[in-house]
Amino acid sequence: MADTRKADVKDMINVDMLQYYEVDEGRKMYVMNRMGMLLRSFRNKLYEYDIRPNLGKPKKLAKIPKRYRTIILNQQDWDNFVDYTQSDEYKVGSVKSKYARSMSVYNHRLGRGGYARLEQKLVESKVIDVDKAPSRALLWYKARKNKAGEIEDENVKAIGAEIHVTQLQAQLEKERKENQEKDEEVNKLKERMVEQDKLIAQILANLPPEGREAAKKKRKVRLKPKKIYDSPPVTETTPSPGIMQSIRCKLAYATKRQTVGMGTIHEVPLQDDCYKVSIDEVVVPASFLPFEVDGVKTLDKALKIFVPLPNKLCIGDSNEQVMTTPNQQNEDDNVKGQQTKKQFITRDDIVNMKNVNKRIKI
């Protein structure tokens, strides 16, 4: 059988390997070592099952075993290997290997996959992280468990207990260091806060009295929380004795003589001289409201709901004016124009009503 220790044979193996596989330059040495381990295992198996049982039987040793004839193609290689197993060099090496094997106290239970296969299993079961190097103590302990995951050797159990204690101590030491680092960071932050307070006190001490008071007021204003309203605030006012709750009224627009509907004034004063009014009847459906309420813009859409109306557009029932249609009101204006002075809402009043539209809520 060919000797892989020779340089020319190694080169030949490299050429054959690269002919069928792509191997990175940095992995060639690993591949060669792995091939050497497999070759040594194959030789030991060949000697144990095909040569050793047939010692003293030259006819059987002269032939290549049938199951290996597709691997061992050269008869001369087989004869050289058989002669080598009978030499003193091989016997001395075998005795040394047996003696070294007998000196092993903590025998592992790994198969042909070795520690590489064990590490792969631990990664798949998420016992260790694939990105971190595993602990040698952990691999040593796991390698000595049987298929049931138990330790049979008492000596291995004792070593495993020591490893467990050591790992616990290392974990506690790590946690202690982390807590110590956190305490140091907290102390540094406290020192910085004390220094900042001292600096602020020095600055305030050097300021004149006027500037000191202004700085204090400024700090108070900054720290004062903003008042947040769910709805615009309602100004609380005391109603006059002449006004009662739920007063019936006429609704006018543009002039007090142009009645567009009927409503009820509720004793809820709002901002900008407005009242909370419920629309009961509609005379002119297309009349626009002074303020838009929840998307409602016209009077007919506001029937039976509350809207804010300026007090100048609400005419109480005590007034003797009769509710008329717009056409009748125009005729009355021509006849009685000189008797009663018209009260118009100016353009500025309408603009002001639109400006407060967003601030008025019911």
The amino acid at 120: Q
Nearest to 64 by CA among 52, 53, 54, 74: 74
Please report which confidence band the pLDDT of residue 235 belongs to, taking 50, 70 and 90 as the band edges: very low
Which residue is listed with tokens 């260091």?
177
Q: Confirm whether 88 is domain-assigned.
A: yes
Q: Confirm whether 72 is domain-assigned.
A: yes
Please report which confidence band the pLDDT of residue 190 belongs to, taking 50, 70 and 90 as the band edges: very high
The per-residue pLDDT for range 21-32, each reduced to its tens digit, is 888 888 888 888
Please identify, among 103, 134, 155, the residue that sits at the C-terminal boundary of a domain.
103
Q: Confirm whether 60 is domain-assigned.
A: yes
Residue 315, domain extent: 247-355
* CA-based end-to-end distance of the chain: 103
Please identify, among 103, 138, 153, the residue that sits at the C-terminal boundary of a domain.
103
Name which of 113-127, 207-221, 264-278 the model is least confident about. Answer: 207-221
Strand order in the sheet with 255-270: 306-310, 274-282, 255-270, 247-253, 314-316
Determine the average pLDDT of the residues in 23-47: 86
- HSE, CB side, 13 Å, CA atoms: give it for residue 162: 8
Domain count, the chain: 2
- Could you tell me the CA-to-CA distances from 267 to 132, 247, 316, 317, 327 in Å, in that order? 77, 8, 13, 16, 33
Q: Is the pTM of this model over 0.85?
A: no
Please give the residue that has the higher pLDDT: either 19 or 105: 19
Query: How far apart are the C-alpha atoms of 303 and 280, rounded to whole Å?
Result: 6
Please report which confidence band the pLDDT of residue 185 belongs to, taking 50, 70 and 90 as the band edges: very high
Query: How far apart are the C-alpha atoms of 135 and 149, rounded to whole Å?
Result: 18
Please identify, among 74, 103, 132, the residue that sits at the C-terminal boundary of a domain.
103
The per-residue pLDDT for range 85-118, each reduced to its tens digit, is 989 988 898 888 888 878 877 778 787 778 888 8
Please report which confidence band the pLDDT of residue 218 belongs to, taking 50, 70 and 90 as the band edges: low
| pLDDT at residue 333, as a whole number | 54
Q: Confirm whether 283 is domain-assigned.
A: yes
Q: Confirm whether 214 is domain-assigned.
A: no
Query: How far apart are the C-alpha atoms of 35 and 69, rounded to whole Å?
Result: 20
- Could you tell me the CA-to-CA distances from 262 to 4, 89, 281, 333, 334 in Å, in that order? 113, 125, 5, 21, 24
Q: Confirm whether 329 is domain-assigned.
A: yes
Query: How far apart are the C-alpha atoms of 87 and 94, rounded to whole Å?
Result: 11
Determine the average pLDDT of the residues in 267-275: 68
Assess whether pLDDT exceeds 80 at residue 197: yes
